A and B are shown apart, each in its own frame.
Chain A
Amino acid sequence: MRIQWDNAAAGGFLILVLVAILLGPSLAPFSPVEFDPVHALLPPNFTYLFGTDEFGRDVFSRVLCGARPTLLLALASAITGVVLGTTTGLVAGYAGGVVDEALMRIMDALMSFPALILAMLVVVMLGADPVNVVFALGIVFWPRSARLVRSVVVDLARREFIEAARSRGEAWPYILARELLPNVRMFIVVDFSLRTTYAILLSASLAYLGIGVAPPTPAWGLMVRDGQQFLEIAPWLVIFPCLAVALTAIGTMLVGERLRRSAALPGTERSR
């Protein structure tokens, strides 16, 4: 996306996210979890900027406080997926042969599950808990990152500097970590930013199916799910967390785009 203002947007967004994560709870004018039945279901006004929910909780405060659980979960999932994927991709791409074949077929198998169903199965299997959601999303991202890294590594592994390292008698962990990894670094960073976007979307979809939620955590996906019942009589319960999800997703995409351009990477694989 060659849009002039995207540098500013990406930078501004990063600052906004950091502020929300670090200071969100202390900026919130009200408690995100405590009940205040007297002020239930108020539309947005000057006291309650985004209105209140059926328990009288301030939606603005909940959206602010939701930044931390939502984003930390997304970042952690992206890290998990990218670390798993990078390791697999490096090994498969470098080793080649049977190892490559075996690893990539397992990755193909994981890819053949619809992402949401795979995440759902893993979370239900391990129990509804944020850590397990991170793990589940990590598994969903794993084959996608692995494919990407492998495709780059296969190419690199035939280059001279790798040959040189091998003839120096370097052990393969060294070659993977010191020679190959730095060369795929930029791909990984871009991939990571994309995975973060998907993680936000996917965890929201999971919450919608009622999987992996832990009330009263004001995670955005969960807020949308709880609020959708009120879509007609109190749309502010859905609109504001939706906006938060969308803005964050747009922001992480812009950051990713910015990174991609600075690394001058051509159309990197972007499949979900």
Chain B
Amino acid sequence: MKALQLILRRCGLLLVVLFIVSVLTFGIVNVLPGDVANAILGDLGTPQQVEALRRSMGLDLPLLQRYESWIVALLHGDFGQSLQFGLPIAPMLFGRLANSAVLGAITLLIAVPVSVLLGVIAGVHEGRLADRVISGFAVVAFSLPEYVIGLLLILVFSIWFPLLPGSSLMDPGANPLARPATLVLPVAVLALGMLAYLSQITRAGMITAMQSAYVRTAVLKGLPGWVVVLKHALPNMLLPTISEIGMNFGYVLGGIVIVETLFSYAGIGQMMVNAVDHRDIPVVEAAVLVVAVAYGVGNLLADAASILLNPRLRS
């Protein structure tokens, strides 16, 4: 039962991490130049108006007091109200979270198997043509910022050859899957970035595995190549790859910020950028926390998987 203990401990630590995240976010957003009163009134607002608005939103209260009332409400399950919109945060947050989750899940579903496949092929054929093509592609895809890839894809597939929509506008109440065509380009951008380096991780793992004693023994036993790869090499390099995928979760979430902004995708990344722009503290807090939870849980799952898969830790 050591495994269970370990996993429970991780859960507890996640809560500690979330607390630190919330404090950091609150602190940083509060010292950003300008506040939500400035954002609402713009440069038309007189200093007196800004003061009045600040008071009416309780922004004149001490920092600690505001944090306290925010976190107490949160512990009661209340995300509070957006200062910018004057509307409750929970409905918009979860709607957008769901949209982002769809985007992220499809990306993972496509990128993970494809990159494992490519990585295995490259690893097995190390140094040969297949490897060079795959690795070369990975390096190029990896070294372009997401927004550049996105802009180029829009230019090619939406303007020069108008095949796919260049923005992922959603009808009210509809889910992003209602118009799958709108998902193609954003997913492509995210998946390319992931592919680029997950395939390289797999490749490195594969090369190490192929050089290990048990694989060599298997080869010496005269087993066919694909059996060696599938039965001996692959299972042994899955572990590091899985934990990499866990870490990647954070990367997918980061890429989402740019992709959602670029494709007008109503997800949590777009919401976060907008909330930072408007200094909407409760919304920034809520969005960052939700992302941190997603990241934490992603890592937790990856850790749990490696704990359960690792015989040394299991016993």
- The answer on direct contact between A and B (beta carbons under 8 Å) is yes
Closest to A231 in B: B155
- Nearest CB of chain B from residue A181's CB, rounded to whole Å: 25
A222 to B197, CA, bound (A): 25
Q: How large is the interface on A (under 10, 10 to 19, 20 to 34, 35 or more residues)?
A: 35 or more
- Nearest CB of chain B from residue A187's CB, rounded to whole Å: 15
Contact B148 A245 (CB under 8 A): yes
B-facing mask of A113-144, CB < 8 A → 1, else 0? 11111001110110100000000000000000
227-260 of chain A: CB within 8 A of chain B: 228, 231-232, 235, 238, 242, 245-250, 253-254
* Segment of A30-38, A67-75, A264-272 engaged in the interface with chain B: A264-272
Contact A112 B142 (CB under 8 A): no
A207 to B132, CA, bound (A): 32
Contact A108 B17 (CB under 8 A): yes
- The reply to whether the CB of A224 lies closer than 8 angstroms to some CB of chain B is yes
Closest to B27 in A: A125
Which B residues touch A232, using CB under 8 A?
155, 159
B interface residues, how many (CB within 8 angstroms) = 57
Contact A208 B201 (CB under 8 A): no
- The reply to whether the CB of A111 lies closer than 8 angstroms to some CB of chain B is yes
- The reply to whether the CB of A217 lies closer than 8 angstroms to some CB of chain B is no
Contact A105 B208 (CB under 8 A): no
Contact B143 A121 (CB under 8 A): no
The dominant DSSP class at the A interface is: helix
- The reply to whether the CB of A197 lies closer than 8 angstroms to some CB of chain B is yes
A254 to B138, CA, bound (A): 12
Known: A249-B142, A267-B201, A271-B244. A125 touches B272 (CB 8 A): no
Contact B21 A109 (CB under 8 A): yes
- The reply to whether the CB of B107 lies closer than 8 angstroms to some CB of chain A is no
Contact A1 B139 (CB under 8 A): yes
Known: A116-B254, A121-B276, A267-B205. A109 touches B143 (CB 8 A): no
Residue numbers of A with Cβ under 8 A of B are 1-4, 105-106, 108-117, 120-122, 124-125, 127, 197, 201, 204-205, 208-209, 221, 224, 228, 231-232, 235, 238, 242, 245-250, 253-254, 266-267, 269-272
The 16 listed contacts between A and B (C-beta, < 8 Å) are A3-B127, A109-B18, A109-B292, A112-B291, A112-B292, A112-B295, A116-B257, A117-B288, A124-B33, A201-B145, A205-B145, A205-B146, A246-B143, A248-B143, A250-B140, A272-B250
Residue numbers of B with Cβ under 8 A of A are 13, 16-18, 20-21, 24-25, 28-29, 31-33, 126-127, 131-132, 135, 139-140, 142-148, 151, 155, 159, 197, 200-201, 204-205, 208, 240, 244, 247-248, 250-251, 253-254, 256-258, 261, 269, 272-273, 276, 288, 291-292, 295-296
